[in-house]
């Protein structure tokens, strides 16, 4: 079976928190609602948009959550069209991907982003051809449902025992647990180290450069 390393996108591959918070504020303003605190917005990164809105506004009705999700999409697309979206790779991510590929790992992405949003990120960083499997919230239930991981495994002809999920939020770790795969948390994203451990992370990496040697020692020993 192939070995597969699946990455979350926002908070793991790229730092997109400023854009997400800006778009969220615009979405709430369009609905004439007070915007959530930025810390609250960072907490929901990784969920599908409707689930994120439900978490931010639990007293709201389903129709409001759906409308806010559409307002968010419009705001983000307008920001991208205006050239003000900045989603840099975290330091060391490109080298991490190179090292894993050199070790024989296939690469995947499982993200709460849309297909369009993920494609824009990968294109911007020259990564469009690097991944054997790409799955987003457009075609799957929200994290922590295991659907995205299961689809990545099928695409890559891997197996749960040869797959690792790498992400910065408790949603990523819970999704990995639900899919029966190894769970690596990352300390440079939007949820704290202790939260990732409490959710069941097998390990938490402090820097992308630590991931390839850790996996090599685990799988090649």
Residue 22's CATH number: 1.10.150
pLDDT value for 130: 95
Q: Are residues 66 and 102 in the same domain?
A: no
Looking from the CA of 40 toward its CB, the CA atoms found within 13 Å total 13
> What Å distances lie between residue 85 and 110, 122, 186, CA to CA?
21, 14, 23
Closest alpha carbon to 189 in 213, 212, 177, 173: 173
Q: How far apart are the C-alpha atoms of 207 and 215, rounded to whole Å?
A: 14
Percent of the chain exceeding pLDDT 90 equals 96
pLDDT value for 220: 74
Q: How far is CA 88 from the centre of its chain?
A: 14
Q: Are residues 21 and 8 in the same domain?
A: no
82 Cβ contact partners less than 8 Å away, ≥ 6 residues apart: none
Could you tell me the pLDDT band of residue 52, with boundaries at 50, 70 and 90? very high
pLDDT value for 221: 54
Q: How far is CA 112 from the centre of its chain?
A: 6
Note if 168 is an active site residue. no
Mean pLDDT value of segment 128-138: 95
Whether the link from the prior residue into 144 is cis, omega within 30° of 0, is yes
Mean pLDDT for all residues in the chain: 96
Q: Are residues 68 and 116 in the same domain?
A: no
Note if 8 is an active site residue. yes
Q: Which tens digit of pLDDT belongs to each residue from 98-116?
A: 999 999 999 999 999 999 9
Q: Are residues 75 and 107 in the same domain?
A: no
Q: How do strand 106-111 and strand 2-7 relate by DSSP bridges?
A: parallel
Q: Are residues 58 and 137 in the same domain?
A: no
Q: Which tens digit of pLDDT belongs to each residue from 16-25?
A: 999 999 999 9
**Token representation of residue 129:** 């051809």
Query: Is a pLDDT exceeding 80 seen at residue 51?
Result: yes
Instruction: Kindly tell me the burial class for residue 63, based on how many C-beta atoms sit within 10 Å of its own C-beta (0-12, 13-18, 19 or more).
Output: exposed
pTM for the predicted model, two decimal places: 0.93
**Of 29, 49, 81, which one is at a domain's C-terminal end?**
81
Q: Is the alpha carbon torsion for 210, 211, 217, 218 positive or negative? A: positive
Q: Are residues 75 and 111 in the same domain?
A: no
Q: Are residues 165 and 56 in the same domain?
A: no
Supply the DSSP symbol for 195: H
Place of tokens 């930025």: 38
**Of 81, 102, 129, which one is at a domain's C-terminal end?**
81
pLDDT value for 132: 98
Q: Which of 10, 15, 22, 71 is catalytic?
A: 10
């Amino acid at each position: 079976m192939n070995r597969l390393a699946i990455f979350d996108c926002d908070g793991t591959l790229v730092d997109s928190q400023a854009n997400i918070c800006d778009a969220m504020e615009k979405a709430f303003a369009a609905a004439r609602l007070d915007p959530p605190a930025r810390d609250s917005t960072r907490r929901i990164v990784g969920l599908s948009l409707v689930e994120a809105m439900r978490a931010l506004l639990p007293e709201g009705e389903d129709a409001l959550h759906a409308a806010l999700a559409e307002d968010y999409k419009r705001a983000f697309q307008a920001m991208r069209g205006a050239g003000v979206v900045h989603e840099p790779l975290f330091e060391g991510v490109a080298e991490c991907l190179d090292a894993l590929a050199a070790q024989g790992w296939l690469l995947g992405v499982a993200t709460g982003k849309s297909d369009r949003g993920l494609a824009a990120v990968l294109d911007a960083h020259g990564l469009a051809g690097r991944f054997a499997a790409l799955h987003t919230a457009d075609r799957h239930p929200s994290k922590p449902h295991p659907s995205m991981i299961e689809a990545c495994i099928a695409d890559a002809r891997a197996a749960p025992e040869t797959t690792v999920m790498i992400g910065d939020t408790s949603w990523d770790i819970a999704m990995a647990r639900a899919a029966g795969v190894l769970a690596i948390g990352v300390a440079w994203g939007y949820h704290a180290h202790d939260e990732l451990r409490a959710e069941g992370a097998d390990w938490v990496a402090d820097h992308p450069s630590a991931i390839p040697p850790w996996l090599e020692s685990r799988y090649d020993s």
